[in-house]
Amino acid sequence: MAHIDTIATARLKTLPSGQLLKLKDGLYRWLAERWRILNRIENNLVFLVHKEGAYGVVVKTGDIDWSTCS
């Protein structure tokens, strides 16, 4: 699992702010909308904002569905 986190962290460093990211299915079930906009990255935390900018969420790098990220 540590290897996956390393790959995710390395990949996040190449993503620009504003990139659309999808949260993994089954996590954070109270969030109906799975797609979020990347705001910033600090340590192992990813700060995501809803597309309307009304609110955000902070997740770990392992909570992102990397198969949908281009």
Domain boundaries, the chain: 2-68
Choose between 50 and 67: higher pLDDT.
50
In CATH terms, the fold of domain 2-68 is: SH3 type barrels. (2.30.30)
23-58: pLDDT as tens digits: 998 888 888 888 999 999 888 889 999 988 788 999
Q: How confident is the model at residue 66 (pLDDT cuts 50, 70, 90)?
A: confident
Contacts of 45 (CB under 8 A, 6+ apart): 58, 59, 60
Q: Please give the DSSP secondary-structure letter assigned to residue 23.
A: B
Q: What is the rounded CA–CA span in Å between residue 4 and residue 21?
A: 17
